[in-house]
Structure 1
Amino acid sequence: MKRFIQMTMMLMVFSYFSGQAQSRKISISANKLPLTRILEQIEKECTYSIVYSNEVIPDTVLVTVNVKRISVAELLDKILPEKQLFYKMMSERMLVIGSNRTVRLPVEEAENKITLSGRINDQKKNVLAFASVGLLQGLSYVGGSISNDNGVFQLSYPFKTQVKYTIKISSIGYQPLSVDFVYPDTVALKNLLLKEEQHTLNTVSITAARPLIERKTDRYIVNVEGSALADGNTGLEVLQKSPGIWVNSEGAIKIKGNQSVMVMINDVVQRMSEEDLAQYLRTLRSEDIKKIEIISNPPSEFEAAGAGGIVHIVLKKARMDGFAGQIGAAYKYGNRPFYAGGVSADYKVKNLYAQGNVSLVKDKSNYIGGRADIVYPDQSTYAGRTDRYNDNSRDQYRFGLAYDLSKNQLIGLQVMGAGSEMLQTFKTSILLNKPAELISGNALSDWVRRPKNTGATLNYLLRLDSTGSTFKVIGDYVQSSKTELNDFTSQYTDPSRNSRYRNNTPNLTNIYSLQADYTKVLNSKLELKTGLKYVSAKRDNTILSEDFIADEWVKNTGTSNQFIYDEHLLMAYVTLEKNIHKTSIKLGLRAEETDMKGNSITSGQTFSRKYLGWFPTAFLVQKLNEKTGSAIYLNYSRRLRRPQFNYLNPYRLQLNDYEVMTGNPDLLPEYTHKIELGYNFWNGFSADVYYSRTENTIAQFVNPIADNVIEYQPRNFNNSSDYGITLDAPVKLFKWWTTNNSVVLFHLATEISNFKVDQYSVYAKSMHTITLKHLFDFDMFANYSSPYVTSNSKMGYIFYLDLGFTKKLLDNQLRMRLSLTDIFDTFKEQEYTNYKDTRISSYQKRPTRTIGLSLSYSFSSGKKFKNKKIEQSNEEEKNRIGN
């Protein structure tokens, strides 16, 4: 494993000195074609917005070029100077092209700029985002801008009274528009209409490779769509292979260190336990995922939950006029089969937008072996060997509608549902070696779980003015339920130890939320956001424990329990963001009041908690070179983690003869202070250091109790500290070989009473993609996690290597993928605990070495149209960067 780490580190060091490879690579072959057409295709293929005037670049400017896989910057440096043109990067996604004869402003005029604004729509009154806007005075280009998500643009210039100006507007798929106005009469700018283009370009051949990783000042973006991650994986598997995300064997998701994160899907906060969330993510198809945003230190617009940050999964949305969709299927085989299939579709007619997807999974994979060994203080030992068999089914659906009430108003509705049926059987052989006594036996456990999630969301959006100010209201309802039955039987050489019992543990959770957000654009460099949110959650847990006595089931009143939990959250936030030249400052404050009550119907035990938390955030970003994306950033936040519903239930659940789980109604929320300092070298390359300290850390405590039983209970540890360094580097070894690499080196320490546990750890990932032209794409993924601390236990190392081959047919509409996972069969799970002179070790081996085949086919009909976002349950304010 040390060799793997050394190789990964050497690869990342090499990437640092390998030159400034731009993240967007293109190949282009054009012979005496208009430069304007080439620029339009670069906009379309490489996600740039290019601002220019038809006077600066008329259609008579022709270009001949033949290059393969060079950056956009290299291409423009090659073709613009000979035409007496230059370009300037205005942001990471926007550049302006001007003439060397462009009028330069005197200093005194530059200090007296006036800001004008307007709105751009198409003929159907749909707003046009990211349209290029150029400002001319006579024949000279004097300024430029780009429309935002609401079609609004702003122009800053020292306008003079009674002087004539011209604006030039262009957007892919629309005819250019030219509008004259005499300042200060700017009525013509308020609502501008573009007509759809009636012809398409077939004379330029351009291909673009969007990077897997895009690094922004406040987040990572993993572009799943079109990558090797996009075919034949579940949502959880995509996270496992995404750079910057670390998922353990139980589905717990981390960004840095070992702190919990908040997961969002299309801006929806997923209020589930880690186990339930992992099962839900397994119902998602990789074909339906567009990208994943990784926000390690979120601003105040986001809820304060999730000390480790936010992982935001963005699903694909409607992009085509008419009808478009995708259908796919996957098959994997280890020692038992795995089947998956799904379909997604989008449709638009007039002002109505519809989208939806459905997926089904059948998973019969099983553990090929597992064991648990315990050495007690009196030197007696327990040894258990287990085989586990699975027969799991999962399904998921999501449907949404959006309707334009007017050009300034949108209403949307979405419904979703997901369900699973997990049938699992455990066969265990037991050997208990006590002083002067040797006991052996066998146990059989049948475990049946059926979790379901359904929800509906209604949202309303009102655009208040032409500068981008908005008001938004979202109402949401989510219901989560699970039935769970564990039937356990054990037989020993000592008949007095024989037992048979079953635990029936259904639960039902209802969550209602209502939020309102207001955004006010005060000027081009100052923005205010504020909002309110209310969440009500009610959970009903039942534990029915029964013993099999005299050929009938008898309720165990001592361990049976019904527990009802009510939680009410009231939240408010305000943020203010100011841009000063290349410096961005963002300050925020969030307040969250929690009022919760617990009631054990069975025992009459009740408890209540009411507390108000203040969560400040501060962000400072200093851009160094906008062309390469280099920047330095410093941020701070205070966040919290509330106890899970099931943690607070005062229950006692016997898993088997030697393991028991108990609840803890005395749990308190944990609070985390976190600070980060980072440096983005250029697009994708970055390094940062971080430190966090958590009080009242919530963790699952492993505790030996009487009768050789091990108890698992969530407790508040005194504190925990976590600090480390992260390195991320996309490397282009050759024009046909690219890699993405991530390493996290961290130290985590926890303390409870007088017991301390700490560990230096490393996570490392490396993904390689090789494109063999006219043949197939080959990818290799390697993952390594060294031993790390969790609660009062330590987890063993994990290493695995996956291979994949992808063939694209029918102009990339049909994708065939052959995958080989864990080819060396090295993925194994180990846990060690040494507490109260009791040593516990467990080992589990899943059938991770598999071979799989997946097919996906994309189809479409109609013209490109402006996508309408259907916002969803518990939605947080969308951050501008990267969306």
Structure 2
Amino acid sequence: MKLKYIVIISLFSTTISAQIKKDSIQQVEQINLLVKKKLLERKADRLIFNVEASVASQGMDASETLANVPMLKVDENMGLISITGKSTVSVMINGRMLNLSGNALLNYLKSIRSENIAKIEVITTPPSKYEAQGNSGIINIILKKNPNLGFSGNINTNLIQRTYSGFSSNGSLSYQTEKFSSSLKLTYYDSAKRSDENYTILGTSQNYSNSVRRDMWKELTPTLNLSYKISKNAEIGMEYIYAHQKSGMDIVNTTKNIASDLSEENLLTNTFHREKLPAHTLSAYYDLKLDSLGKKLSIAGNFYKNNSDTEVNFSTLKSSDQSVQDVRTTSLIKPQIFSAQADLELPFSFGTIETGVKFNQFKNSSDLRYFNVSAGNYIEDLTRANLFEYKEENYAAYISYAKSFGEHWEMKAGLRYENTNAESYTPSSGSGNQYNYAQWFPSAYVSYKEDKNVFSFSYSRRINRPSMSNLNPFRWYSNPYSYSSGNPLLTPAYINNWELGYTFNSKFSASVYYLRMKNAFGQISYIDGLSQIGTYLNYYNNNFWGLNASYTDTFFRFWETSISMNASLQNSTVFNIQAETQKGSSFSYSISNTFTLNKNKTLALFLNYDHSLPYRNVNSYFYSFPELTSGLKVSLMEKKLQINATVTNIFAQRYRGDKYFTDSSQHMDNYWDGRSFRLSVNYTFGGNKKKISKKNINFEEKDRAQ
């Protein structure tokens, strides 16, 4: 009898346990469904876009996914990613700064699948933990944690048809154990596009320039990641990237110059431009958990080096005397960056304290040589040759404090101190420049959450330091008369950002912002006789007032749409140039639509429209630019095989703009092969075993080598 009761009790216990387990699974599934419905989240210092909750963002690469995020704009024609209403932003992966730009950045993002992205954080006013360098904001792509144990991998191929055909391929192979993690990624791309650029300068003399150019890129980049858990609380790891890049341009330029006495000169220049750019990046880290409450020490070091070896040959026919001038220029640029940092995270019952220190060292040497070609002989022109050396050291320390007050209030405040010592030297002229500056960079954030409403306020101060190419006085000649160069006397710009944000029901988001930029710099062009010369100057201060708003929702279960808009007003003052500024304004909007065409959600049509109306900024006017993109997405083999077909810039729009000075005006009318057809095929393989976490390494300085 006792045995019978034991059996009954055992069966009853098993049944109850199974029911509890079943109920728990159902609850987890319900919770997951609820989480998936939260497309947007607003925190004290950032807006979060949950990629897993967006049907439109499935079956894409990271660059396409970013274009679906409210407030973000991806311009593949110009190789730019920006926050609407703001300017230059940095891109991070799990808090690690990519420090890539242009096509290199976009091709890197194309190697990341949206299925591997958990969320994207838009940080318009970055906190003190991050480098103060940068114009306005940071985009942080958070990848899904815990890649599969054992072997897993991914293969992706993209075909693109512009004027010329191109393709890119990337593959990754990972192997994970409980303690050891490794991955090898290989990326290759070979692409080209046609550009048609027109630039006109009108003043007492006139200059009309047209360039028809074929741009070409080839790159083979292996990336190796290794990590090992020394113990339960300690982990070490490293990442090595070798980028073997080759690029080239074939250019035909015609230039008409009309002098003040109305005499006319015409130039025809054929240019052959080739560059080799092998780059090495080595990063290492050590993480130590100090206790079970989340206290953690992180130490990281980074090293970057490349050798840009460029050869440019051009031949210029001068119409007035039918003379031909053949020129060869060579340049060798060797930037080198080292950084080391330590970060300490200390969560307590009274709040979380973060603090850390960082050291960065930048070095660059460059050597430009100019040769006139006569009867097959190269005769060096030492008056046009240039040597340049640059060294910069930055010392930084920061501290921040974050605290949540009940269920409604969250705040964060921080302070960062940066001290910079820099010196540049031009041996060919015997001239140099030294400067030192130290600045404090405060930041503050507060948010309030009540039911479906979230309010936030943020402030941060930033610095925008010139890149090495901005500072380098190299003369990059396009013909024997015209060139562009950097300016070693450039000084940093400073930016103050204020923003008031609001989110409703995780679908509607809006923000009002004010941005004050002081001592900003940019490129200025002017005419000197036959020469069209471009250089960089600190020349304006800017005040921006803006409004962003977006709404994303799903209708009829098959239609996901996202509508966003931005409006801004600005006024500027200028110095170092003769120009009259006007009060500026801008307005842009976009509508993105994804239509699911079957019940299994394996076939989808997307149709996106983006329109920037004419706008003014400082002394510039930019014309309207509408863009229509459409395509199909197909998922097969339980979504392991994905095929996308996309047509971009269907109407083949051109970029047009004007600049106005007191004594002249300048006009741009360019087409950069924006219309394209793209076919992408992606296949993912690997088991679904237990998962572990992966560390990403922070290296925020590398973009200044560009």
- Say if 2:278 is the partner of 1:456: no
CA RMSD of aligned residues (A): 2.8
For the residues of structure 2 that align with 1:657 and 1:241, how far apart are their CA atoms? 45
The structure-2 alpha-carbon separation of the partners of 1:712 and 1:557, relative to structure 1 and needing over 3 Å to count, comes to same
- Report the residue type matching 1:804 in the other structure: G
For the residues of structure 1 that align with 2:588 and 2:482, how far apart are their CA atoms? 31
Alignment of 1:479-490 (within 5 A): 479-490=305-316
For the residues of structure 1 that align with 2:83 and 2:343, how far apart are their CA atoms? 28
- Report the residue type matching 1:681 in the other structure: F
Q: How far does residue 45 in structure 1 lie from its aligned partner after superposition? A: 8.8
Q: How far does residue 376 in structure 1 lie from its aligned partner after superposition? A: 2.8
Which residue of the other structure, out of 542, 553, 561, is the alignment partner of 1:720?
542
Deviations 1:659-714 (A, max 9, x none): 42132222111111111111111214211111111211122223x23204333222
* SS across alignment from 1:824: coil
The structure-2 alpha-carbon separation of the partners of 1:358 and 1:243, relative to structure 1 and needing over 3 Å to count, comes to farther
Structure-2 residue corresponding to 1:871: 697
For the residues of structure 1 that align with 2:590 and 2:675, how far apart are their CA atoms? 18
Structure-2 residue corresponding to 1:691: 514
- Say if 2:624 is the partner of 1:801: no
Structure-2 residue corresponding to 1:744: 566
For the residues of structure 1 that align with 2:546 and 2:423, how far apart are their CA atoms? 38
- Say if 2:380 is the partner of 1:537: no
Q: How far does residue 737 in structure 1 lie from its aligned partner after superposition? A: 0.1
For the residues of structure 2 that align with 1:399 and 1:224, how far apart are their CA atoms? 26
Structure-1 residue corresponding to 2:484: 661
Query: 2:44 touches 2:445 (CA, 8 Å); kept in 1?
Result: no
- Report the residue type matching 2:298 in the other structure: K
Which residue of the other structure, out of 528, 542, 548, is the alignment partner of 1:706?
528
For the residues of structure 2 that align with 1:653 and 1:335, how far apart are their CA atoms? 27
- Say if 2:186 is the partner of 1:358: yes
Query: 2:128 touches 2:415 (CA, 8 Å); kept in 1?
Result: yes
Q: How far does residue 302 in structure 1 lie from its aligned partner after superposition? A: 1.0
Structure-1 residue corresponding to 2:165: 337
Which residue of the other structure, out of 820, 824, 829, is the alignment partner of 2:651?
824
- Say if 2:504 is the partner of 1:681: yes
Alignment of 1:468-487 (within 5 A): 468-487=294-313
Query: 1:283 touches 1:361 (CA, 8 Å); kept in 2?
Result: no
Structure-2 residue corresponding to 1:853: 679
Query: 2:516 touches 2:544 (CA, 8 Å); kept in 1?
Result: yes
- Report the residue type matching 1:511 in the other structure: I
The structure-2 alpha-carbon separation of the partners of 1:623 and 1:783, relative to structure 1 and needing over 3 Å to count, comes to same
Query: 2:41 touches 2:503 (CA, 8 Å); kept in 1?
Result: no
Q: How far does residue 862 in structure 1 lie from its aligned partner after superposition? A: 4.6
- Report the residue type matching 2:527 in the other structure: I
Which residue of the other structure, out of 568, 573, 579, is the alignment partner of 1:755?
579
For the residues of structure 1 that align with 2:328 and 2:662, how far apart are their CA atoms? 30
Query: 2:227 touches 2:238 (CA, 8 Å); kept in 1?
Result: yes
Q: How far does residue 791 in structure 1 lie from its aligned partner after superposition? A: 6.3
Deviations 1:349-395 (A, max 9, x none): 2311112322111113323x3323332325xx433333222332123
- Say if 2:121 is the partner of 1:293: yes
- Say if 2:268 is the partner of 1:442: yes
Structure-2 residue corresponding to 1:377: 204
Of 433-442 and 583-592, the range deviating more from structure 2: 433-442
Q: How far does residue 335 in structure 1 lie from its aligned partner after superposition? A: 2.5
Structure-2 residue corresponding to 1:787: 614
Q: How far does residue 586 in structure 1 lie from its aligned partner after superposition? A: 1.2
The structure-2 alpha-carbon separation of the partners of 1:280 and 1:807, relative to structure 1 and needing over 3 Å to count, comes to closer
Structure-2 residue corresponding to 1:37: 22
Deviations 1:243-275 (A, max 9, x none): 322345433433143433233344333456xxx
For the residues of structure 1 that align with 2:223 and 2:447, how far apart are their CA atoms? 38
Query: 1:317 touches 1:355 (CA, 8 Å); kept in 2?
Result: no
* SS across alignment from 2:193: coil
TM-score normalized by the length of structure 2: 0.88
- Say if 2:234 is the partner of 1:409: yes
Query: 1:475 touches 1:514 (CA, 8 Å); kept in 2?
Result: yes
Which residue of the other structure, out of 134, 137, 149, is the alignment partner of 1:309?
137
Structure-2 residue corresponding to 1:646: 469
* SS across alignment from 1:282: helix
Q: How far does residue 764 in structure 1 lie from its aligned partner after superposition? A: 2.2
For the residues of structure 2 that align with 1:390 and 1:651, how far apart are their CA atoms? 22
The structure-2 alpha-carbon separation of the partners of 1:442 and 1:548, relative to structure 1 and needing over 3 Å to count, comes to same
Moved over 6 A (4+): none
- Report the residue type matching 1:504 in the other structure: T
The structure-2 alpha-carbon separation of the partners of 1:354 and 1:791, relative to structure 1 and needing over 3 Å to count, comes to farther
- Report the residue type matching 1:361 in the other structure: Y
- Report the residue type matching 2:404 in the other structure: N
- Report the residue type matching 2:138 in the other structure: I
Of 255-264 and 670-679, the range deviating more from structure 2: 255-264
- Say if 2:434 is the partner of 1:608: yes
Structure-1 residue corresponding to 2:4: none
Q: How far does residue 647 in structure 1 lie from its aligned partner after superposition? A: 1.8
The structure-2 alpha-carbon separation of the partners of 1:862 and 1:622, relative to structure 1 and needing over 3 Å to count, comes to closer
Q: How far does residue 44 in structure 1 lie from its aligned partner after superposition? A: 6.2
Q: How far does residue 783 in structure 1 lie from its aligned partner after superposition? A: 1.8
For the residues of structure 2 that align with 1:718 and 1:686, how far apart are their CA atoms? 32
- Say if 2:667 is the partner of 1:841: yes
RCO comparison, higher one (Cα < 8 Å, 6+): 2
Deviations 1:552-577 (A, max 9, x none): 22222222111111111111011111
Structure-1 residue corresponding to 2:153: 325
The structure-2 alpha-carbon separation of the partners of 1:335 and 1:252, relative to structure 1 and needing over 3 Å to count, comes to closer
Q: How far does residue 461 in structure 1 lie from its aligned partner after superposition? A: 0.9
- Report the residue type matching 2:579 in the other structure: F
For the residues of structure 2 that align with 1:394 and 1:631, how far apart are their CA atoms? 45
- Report the residue type matching 2:538 in the other structure: N
* SS across alignment from 1:366: strand
For the residues of structure 2 that align with 1:836 and 1:622, how far apart are their CA atoms? 49
The structure-2 alpha-carbon separation of the partners of 1:39 and 1:575, relative to structure 1 and needing over 3 Å to count, comes to same
Query: 1:270 touches 1:277 (CA, 8 Å); kept in 2?
Result: no
Query: 2:42 touches 2:454 (CA, 8 Å); kept in 1?
Result: no
Query: 2:548 touches 2:567 (CA, 8 Å); kept in 1?
Result: yes
Q: How far does residue 870 in structure 1 lie from its aligned partner after superposition? A: 3.9
* SS across alignment from 2:230: strand
Q: How far does residue 643 in structure 1 lie from its aligned partner after superposition? A: 1.3
* SS across alignment from 1:279: helix
For the residues of structure 1 that align with 2:356 and 2:697, how far apart are their CA atoms? 16
For the residues of structure 2 that align with 1:240 and 1:601, how far apart are their CA atoms? 46
TM-score normalized by the length of structure 1: 0.71
The structure-2 alpha-carbon separation of the partners of 1:511 and 1:789, relative to structure 1 and needing over 3 Å to count, comes to farther
Q: Highest Rg: 1 or 2? A: 1
* SS across alignment from 1:243: coil
- Say if 2:85 is the partner of 1:257: yes
The structure-2 alpha-carbon separation of the partners of 1:238 and 1:373, relative to structure 1 and needing over 3 Å to count, comes to farther
Query: 1:280 touches 1:418 (CA, 8 Å); kept in 2?
Result: no
Point out where structure 1 has 5 or more consecutive residues left out of the alignment.
Answer: 1-32, 49-70, 73-92, 94-207, 877-883
Point out where structure 2 has 5 or more consecutive residues left out of the alignment.
Answer: 1-17
Query: 2:585 touches 2:617 (CA, 8 Å); kept in 1?
Result: no
Structure-1 residue corresponding to 2:71: 244
- Report the residue type matching 1:383 in the other structure: Y
The structure-2 alpha-carbon separation of the partners of 1:404 and 1:595, relative to structure 1 and needing over 3 Å to count, comes to same
Q: How far does residue 454 in structure 1 lie from its aligned partner after superposition? A: 1.8
For the residues of structure 2 that align with 1:789 and 1:484, how far apart are their CA atoms? 37
The structure-2 alpha-carbon separation of the partners of 1:476 and 1:747, relative to structure 1 and needing over 3 Å to count, comes to same
For the residues of structure 2 that align with 1:553 and 1:789, how far apart are their CA atoms? 47
Deviations 1:526-562 (A, max 9, x none): 1111111111111112222222245422222222111
Structure-2 residue corresponding to 1:815: 642
